[in-house]
């Protein structure tokens, strides 16, 4: 039961953080390119990499903290469904090159951010 509460609270905080950060990022740019989702997903991957690295590196954080941050917060904060919808919208509105770039950037940057997070956790 404790695990479910940790996931619930972390997911809620992650979702609210995503909403607020997305609004803030979108306030500063006027492009059809979905910068907010890209930035948020990269940040989520960086956090996830750090948390997993710290948890795996001599148990520097507890299994409960890992669950809160990985499944809860990062699960609520990042959003693959929004990424998919935005990519499809770009294609449907004729921005196919942007859709391809967005997809490639998302995969490459998110993998890199997770790797960087794992690496940072070892310092």
pLDDT band at 7 (very low <50, low <70, confident <90, very high): very high
Q: What is the pLDDT of residue 47?
A: 95
Higher pLDDT: 46 or 58? It is: 46
pTM: 0.89
57-100 pLDDT per residue, tens? 777 899 999 999 999 999 999 989 899 999 999 999 999 999 99
pLDDT band at 36 (very low <50, low <70, confident <90, very high): very high
User: In terms of C-beta density within 10 A (0-12 exposed, 13-18 middle, 19 or more buried), how is residue 35 classed?
Assistant: middle
Length of the chain measured in residues:
123
Which residue matches tokens 């959003």?
A: 79
């Amino acid at each position: 039961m404790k695990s479910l509460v940790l996931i619930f609270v972390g997911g809620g905080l992650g979702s609210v953080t995503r909403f607020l950060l997305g609004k803030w990022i979108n306030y500063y740019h006027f492009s059809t390119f979905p910068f907010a989702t890209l930035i948020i997903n990269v940040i989520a991957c960086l956090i996830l990499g750090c948390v997993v690295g710290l948890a795996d590196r001599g148990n520097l954080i507890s299994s409960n903290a890992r669950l809160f941050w990985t499944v809860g917060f990062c699960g609520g904060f990042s959003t693959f469904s929004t990424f998919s919808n935005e990519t499809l919208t770009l294609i449907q509105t004729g921005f196919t090159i942007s859709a391809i770039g967005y997809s490639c950037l998302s995969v490459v940057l998110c993998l890199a951010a997770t790797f960087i997070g794992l690496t940072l956790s070892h310092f």
